[in-house]
Structure formats: C-alpha cells, structure tokens
Amino acid sequence: MNRLMVAVLWITVKGGLNYPFEDPELSPDMFQGDIGIPPLKQRNGMNTALHLWPNRTVFFEIEPNKFRDEHMALIRQAMNTIQEKSCVIFRNATEAERSSSLLITSQNKGCSTLVLGFRNFTNKMNLQLFDPGRGCFRIGSIIHEFLHVLGFEHQHVAQDRDQFVRIAWENINPEFKINFINNDKISNFSSFGETYDYDSVMHYIPTAFSKNGMPTIIPLKEVGQRMGQRLGMSEIDVRKLNKMYKCPGYV
C-alpha cells in the first residue's frame, strides 16, 4: 500500500468511527454534545414537577420556512410516536404560551436542545437539515431531542452506569471528559426504578467524544451491543417517559 492509500483508509476508518465529532448530536461546543444549558444535576431523567411540561402538554412552534415537507413529516412522526406511547401530547403554542414554549428550528449546526424540560423561557430545539434518515433526520435523533425537551438526560450518566458500562477515560478527548461525569449524589433526577438501558434512544454511540477512534463507552454485559441506536424509543424509554409524566397506569 502506498502512503496515499494508507491515508485514505485511515480517514475512511476514522470517519466510520465518528472521528472526531461527525455525529451531529455530538457537537464540541454543547454540554454532552447536544444540550445548550448544562443541567444542575447530571443524571438520567428529571422528576422535578416544576420542570415537567404542565398538563403533560408540549406547546411548540415550528419556525416558518426552516423545514421542507419531508422534514415536517418526520418531526410530526416523532411527535406522534411519543403521543402514541405515552400520555404526553404536542400542540401548537398559543400566542400567550410563546414565552415558555418549544421553538423548533434548523438555523444552527447539529441537533440540540437548549435546556432539559419546561422552563420559564422559550426552549429551543435545533435540527440541522439532513436528508430523511440521516443525521438529525433519523427518526430516533428527533425523538432523542424531544426526550431532552421532556426532561431526560443521556443514558450513560444514570447513577447505576458503572455496573453496566466502563467509561474508557483513556480514550476520551480530555476537553470533553465533563460529558461523562455522573457523580451527583443528591439530586432530583431519577431512573424511575428502571435498569440501565443499553437500547435507549438516549444512549451515546460507543465512540462518543473519542480522541482516537477507540470506544469511550464499553458495555460490561453482552446485551450491550446496540448502544447508540437511533431507530426509536426502547421499551424502557417508553416506561420511563410514562412514569416521568405519571401517565395513567404508571403512577
């Protein structure tokens, strides 16, 4: 192999492993890659009623002219999935609700959510335009951002994570080690009685924030092979969302 071939192969392999941060959910300038304002506590899901959407209703506005029909259809599909699997509903914000609604836009790079849960200001979800099925327009990526909006953090900061994954600190780009810290002991976050979920749509890919293309999250059990799927909510994601919003039958 000549040097050029080696270089091309190297780039190809690294690209396949998401090196350095090609995944649009793993932006270097966001907390944990896609959260604008770091949560006070780093755990799995909020159980602070104050920051849950009132009456289990997310009132949103889609910024006009930012999405094509095919993108609108996928955003709608993600909302429908969440509505069908839980008691959470999505509806257009009224004028009066705008100041604490969810604004969905494509104006920035990457896929991200400004802040976890419902706030006293406009939350903002960014979905950079990609062809359907790619990047931020994988259905699971859109659902992932909606679950941040509803109050969930990433799976790997759950309190029980060290029993299920090894964080390979030696492979994490030092600048981004913060994204893997989960040492809060007192907090209003909870896993809602559910076990660590490798299949969660909130789980990182195994090489997230790697400095060398090697895994940063290594499953300790055999069932951990699908980490980072963006196809849809896992069964445990569904249960946790229903428990978070105290849906009928889950209280």
Binding stretches for Zn ion (CB under 5 A): 34
Cα distances (angstroms) measured from residue 140 to each of 42, 111, 125, 168: 22, 12, 15, 25
Residue 188 in contact with ligand NAG, rule: CB under 6 A: yes
* Contacting range for ligand NAG; rule: CB under 6 A; set: 13-21, 47-55, 76-84, 154-162: 47-55
**CB under 5 to 8 A by kind: which of Zn ion, ligand NAG, none does 92 bind?**
ligand NAG
Q: Which of Zn ion, ligand NAG, none has residue 229 at its interface (CB below 5 to 8 Å by kind)? A: none
Backbone angles phi, psi at 9, to 5 degrees: -60, -45
Pair 140, 174: CB distance under 8 Å: no
Taking CB under 6 A as the binding criterion, the range among 50-58, 141-149, 201-209, 215-223 that sits at the site for ligand NAG is 50-58
Check if 235 is active-site.
no
131 three-class SS: coil
Q: Using CA atoms, how far apart are residues 56 and 44, in angstroms rounded to an integer?
A: 19
Decide: is 65 part of the binding site for ligand NAG (CB under 6 A): no
Please tell me the distance from the alpha carbon of residue 215 to that of residue 209, in angstroms, as a whole number: 9
Closer residue to Zn ion (CB): 60 or 146: 146
Among 69, 120, 170, 249, binds ligand NAG (CB under 6 A): 120
Q: CA 154, CA 165: separation in Å to the nearest integer?
A: 13
Does residue number 83 form part of the binding site for ligand NAG (CB under 6 A)?
no
Q: Please state, as a whole number, how many other Cβ atoms lie within 10 Å of the Cβ of residue 35.
A: 20
Binding region for ligand NAG (CB under 6 A): 48, 50, 55, 57, 89, 92, 120, 188
